[in-house]
């Protein structure tokens, strides 16, 4: 969790934190609404790469990057889940699905652009 927190942009308020066996989560707020930031780390997932990264971008270092946006599972109408899913050449998979509250307060994840 400490590494994840160091990577967050300055100016965010970090709330409740969860850190358990490859899964990390924290609620962050940039003053415009809260977002749940989650990171899931999975070692050597090369056996499922073809099924997960068919339309992925390959970065210069060989990392596969797939992104998606879909309706959120929790939080009510208008919640959007944005997912970034990466796999390094050694099979290390890191998935980050930050969910946002209703579009009236925050149409995009914290600091998404």
Distance between CA atoms of 17 and 41, rounded to whole angstroms? 16
What pLDDT score does 105 carry? 47
By the 10 Å C-beta count (0-12 exposed, 13-18 middle, 19+ buried), 50 is classed as exposed
Six-digit token string for 92:
């290390």
Mean per-residue pLDDT pooled into runs of 10, the chain (113 residues) = 74 80 81 81 93 94 91 69 90 80 48 51
Tell me the pLDDT tens digit for each residue of 58-74.
999 999 999 988 776 66
By the 10 Å C-beta count (0-12 exposed, 13-18 middle, 19+ buried), 68 is classed as exposed
Distance between CA atoms of 26 and 16, rounded to whole angstroms? 6
């Amino acid at each position: 969790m400490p590494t994840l927190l160091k990577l967050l942009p300055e100016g965010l308020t970090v709330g409740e934190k969860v850190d358990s066996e490859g899964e990390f989560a924290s609620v962050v707020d940039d003053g415009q609404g809260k977002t749940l930031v989650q990171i899931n780390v999975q070692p050597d997932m090369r056996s499922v790469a073809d099924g997960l990264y068919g339309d992925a971008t390959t970065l210069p270092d060989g990392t596969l990057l797939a992104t998606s946006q879909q309706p959120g599972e929790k939080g009510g109408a208008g919640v959007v889940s944005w997912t970034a899913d990466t796999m390094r050449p050694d099979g290390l998979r890191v998935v980050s699905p930050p969910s946002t509250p209703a579009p009236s307060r925050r149409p995009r994840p914290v600091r998404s652009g």
